[in-house]
Amino acid sequence: MTINHNAAKGAYIHIPFCDHICYYCDFNKVFMKNQPVDDYLDALSTEMNSYRANGLPETLYIGGGTPTALNEGQFERMFSDIDRYLMNPRVREFTVEANPESLTEEKLNIMKRHGVTRLSIGVQTFDDKLLQSIGRAHNASDAEYAVRLAQKHGFHNITLDLMFALPGQTEASLHESLDRALSLGTPHISIYSLQLEPKTIFFNRMKSGKLKLPGEDIEADMYGQIIFALEKYGLNQYEISNFSKPGYEGVHNSLYWQNEEYYGIGAGAHGYVNGVRYANAGPVKKYIERVHSVGHSRMSEHTVTSTEKMEEEMFLGLRLLKGVSVARFEEKFGKTIEQVYGAQINQLKEEGLLTERDGRILMTRKGVFLGNNVFEAFLIS
């Protein structure tokens, strides 16, 4: 397998280790105990080095798993390797995911020393009963303490990750969580509805009839209330699940929605480089073995066709509330949006799901609520 080395705008680095497994999580992860963590960091360093000559990314994002599950020595080592191989002196954003129960003062100091600019703290809800019922290891007070501690250490670009439509969640509980989240004064909140994915504990419970979820109508009503509450507070919705104060929109994640290329580094990571989408080996030991034997861990590659690129431009770009630029589409693909997707766009306009404004195709408020219907219209290949 030949790797074409061209610079990508972002780099995603995956840490698959967790101290516990949440009931809803389907990301590539393993229990931390008895894992070859140091060997994994060796392999991660080798893979990072393989991209060094390609050009440095403008954004860095460390996700998981639970990056803060690493001990302080491992944490320091990971950042030192990033400094050596990937750090751009003009980095636009450097984000690290953190869990409240494993975010310590020393880890905050390490991140500060190594240029981290943004934290994404996994809170999910401020309802202690719900936190326990979804398998989280922290409580609401832990979450508040972690945010305050991060702010005390000079981290002010913080996003809180929340969830809604959880089993047993009421609208009153949702509003209490939103109120407690807003009281912390972070400039960004990401909030996602629960998705039941195969191989998760919740999926198995649902299959056996042991999981009660709010219905679609309640979920839609919750979503509407979330939009109203956050925008009233000054957090503007810029993407279907993301809200921020002006100037605090997530830069790295916006690369995905704008269909830009990025390195995917680590076990199970996906990347997009030189027109090729690829996926690394998922199992930790297989990842380590493959990196050391061939210098990378790609297990599958797909050269994205022109048709697929246009599809992705639409269904990814329309996730952003500003939508897709008509001029940029023609510049990238040599065809107008009207030539390629005129029928779909006109139909969605008639249904009140899309509109056109200031040279951009974007979703209406109704379209935001029925986003999947909009996205599916552009999957024609």
Structure confidence by residue, pLDDT tens digits, 36-53: 999 999 999 999 999 988
| Predicted local distance difference test score (pLDDT) of residue 56 | 95
> What is the residue whose two structure tokens read 């393989």?
50
DSSP assigned state of 4 = P
Rounded to two decimals, what is the model's pTM?
0.94
Please tell me the distance from the alpha carbon of residue 210 to that of residue 202, in angstroms, as a whole number.
Answer: 9
Please tell me the distance from the alpha carbon of residue 364 to that of residue 342, in angstroms, as a whole number.
Answer: 17
For the chain, residues classed under CATH 1.10.10.920 are: 306-376
Please tell me the distance from the alpha carbon of residue 27 to that of residue 34, in angstroms, as a whole number.
Answer: 20
pLDDT at 202 over 80: no
CATH code of the domain made up of 306-376? 1.10.10.920
Residue 60's Cβ-side half-sphere holds a number of Cα atoms within 13 Å equal to 24
CA distances from residue 25 to 75, 108, 178, 239, 304 in whole angstroms, order as listed: 23, 25, 22, 22, 28
Q: Are 55 and 10 in contact (CB under 8 A)?
A: no
User: Smallest Cα–Cα separation from 10: which of 111, 99, 101, 118?
Assistant: 118
What order of strands is seen across the sheet that includes strand 59-64? 236-239, 242-244, 188-193, 158-164, 118-124, 93-98, 59-64, 10-15, 262-265, 270-273, 276-280, 298-303
pLDDT tens digit sequence for 252-301: 999 999 999 999 999 999 999 999 999 999 999 999 999 999 988 999 99
For residue 44 the two structure tokens come to: 């991660």
For 10-257, give the CATH class: alpha beta
Count the Cβ atoms, other than its own, within 10 Å of residue 112: 14
Residues 176-197, buried b or exposed e (16+ Cβ, 10 A)?
ebbebbbebebbbbbbebbeee
For the chain, residues classed under CATH 3.80.30.20 are: 10-257
Confidence category of residue 6, pLDDT binned at 50, 70, 90: low
Q: What is the mean pLDDT of the chain?
A: 93
| Predicted local distance difference test score (pLDDT) of residue 25 | 63
Task: Determine what percent of the chain is predicted with pLDDT higher than 70.
Answer: 96
| Predicted local distance difference test score (pLDDT) of residue 371 | 94
pLDDT tens digit sequence for 331-371: 999 999 999 999 999 999 999 999 999 999 999 999 999 99
Q: What is the CA radius of gyration of the chain?
A: 21
Q: Report the SS3 class of residue 372.
A: helix
> What is the residue whose two structure tokens read 């048709």?
307
pLDDT at 3 over 60: no
Mean pLDDT of 313-327: 97
| Predicted local distance difference test score (pLDDT) of residue 135 | 85
11-25, 76-90, 133-147, 230-244: least confidently modelled range: 11-25
Mean pLDDT of 18-32: 73
